[in-house]
Amino acid sequence: VHVFRACTNSEFSGTCLEMYITCPGCIVLNPEWQRTISSVRITDSRVRCRFWVTSGCNSDGILVPYSNPIYNLAATNYNDRIVAFDCYLA
């Protein structure tokens, strides 16, 4: 399932990652993507994802619903802090 698009700059610019995974489960981003994400969009209406600042997918995270992409994570406390995510079918 194509679950999300995440980019290193706001407004979905810069280098982007298209993530295709089977839900659910905590997934740690590859080191080159950790602490670089500035915008994120869920691409499948059946999926919900939470993005985390810890590799264990616990404690401090932000839920991104399909209907509400985040064009600029600088407007939150999560810009360039995300290291892992978990997604599930809604």
Place of tokens 């700059």: 9
Q: What is the mean pLDDT of the chain?
A: 93
Give residue-wise pLDDT tens across range 58-76.
989 999 989 999 999 999 9
Give residue-wise pLDDT tens across range 18-51.
988 777 789 999 999 999 999 999 999 998 999 9
pTM above 0.85, yes or no: yes
Domain spans in the chain, listed from the N-terminal domain onward: 2-89
Architecture of the CATH domain 2-89? Sandwich (2.60)
Question: Which residues, listed in sequence order, are joined to residue 16 by a DSSP beta bridge?
Answer: 7
Sheet holding 61-64, edge to edge: 26-28, 84-89, 47-52, 61-64
Asked if 21 and 32 count as a contact pair (C-beta separation under 8 A), the reply is no
